Amino acid sequence: MWDKVIVSKKGIFLCILILSIFFIQDCALISPSKKVARKRVSKPEKKREVPQAEKEYFIWPVKGTVTSKFGFRSKRKHDGIDIGAPKGTKIVASADGKVIFSGWGPTGYGKIVIIKHSKKYVTVYAHNSKNFVKEGQSIKKGEKIALVGSTGRASGPHIHFELRVNRIPVNPLPYLP
């Protein structure tokens, strides 16, 4: 029976990904001579002190209400904040930068814009109904880049806003005025 099973490359990749997430990390932490019962707990997010100059670097990308915060939601990590706003509300760049991606993002994100602001900062704007910018375009803080939508896996019109510092997602709220 097993000699006729054909596995796709996607299936193999998915299997390896699942194995690495759930098993390899735990196995590496247990010494061979000692078996330890482990309980998986999430690390509490460290409070980041953001220098005043960095707080003044960014602005809010849209006027609205934060409907979902950064951090763990049930079992999954939410790498940004969701800001609820009516469909079609303008989204602006949070800081000067260069567009490094504009189009359909990974599964669930819908239409996205990604802006690199420096060697250190990158922002992501997701679930847009329409993008107005192109890859390689220079952008000024406050410039219109997209419209609020509900593309991808979205429960309603909002913007999913991420801030990455040295490629690591961080809570954007301490950086916003």
Q: How far apart (Å, rounded) are the C-alpha atoms in residues 115 and 131?
A: 12
Does the pTM surpass 0.85? The reply is no
What are the pLDDT digits (tens) for 25-34?
333 333 444 4
| All residues at 6 or more sequence positions from 95 whose CB lies less than 8 Å from its CB, including other chains | 57, 58, 59, 115, 117, 121, 123, 141
pLDDT of residue 46: 53
With beta carbons less than 8 A apart as the criterion, state whether 124 and 65 touch.
no
Strand order in the sheet with 90-92: 90-92, 144-147, 130-131
Q: Token pair for residue 28?
A: 């590496």
Q: Express each pLDDT in 85-110 by its tens digit.
A: 999 999 999 999 999 999 999 889 99
Q: Dump pLDDT digits (tens) for 54-66.
A: 667 899 999 999 9
The domains found in the chain, sorted by start residue, are: 52-175 (2.70.70.10)
